[in-house]
């Protein structure tokens, strides 16, 4: 099993690949003069949304944003509230 920093590296690479695929799948109908395409299930997908999602995935893969890749810090300060008012 892959753990730690190596897992984050592979996750970023996979996210970048999916981002490029989403970008080019969304760009193809734009270049043919259409604004949407059908997905595998027959539903319409608005091509600019696919392009924006692809760009965000690529940016998330390029830049190491802690808010995207890291888990939130554990709360070690548990405060008990008093029962009396």
pLDDT score at 72 = 65
Whether residue 81 is predicted with pLDDT greater than 90 in this model: the reply is no
Place of tokens 């893969």: 61
In this structure, is the dihedral angle defined by the CA atoms of residues 29, 35, 39 and 41, taken in order, positive or negative?
negative
pLDDT tens digits along 60-69: 888 876 666 6
């Amino acid at each position: 099993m892959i753990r730690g920093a190596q897992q984050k590296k592979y996750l970023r690479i996979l996210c970048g690949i999916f981002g490029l695929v989403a970008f080019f799948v969304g760009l193809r109908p734009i270049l043919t003069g259409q604004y949407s395409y059908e997905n595998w299930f027959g539903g319409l997908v608005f091509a600019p949304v696919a392009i924006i999602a692809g760009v965000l995935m690529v940016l998330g893969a390029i830049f190491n944003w802690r808010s995207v890749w890291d888990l939130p810090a554990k709360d070690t300060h548990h405060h008990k509230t008093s029962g009396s008012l």
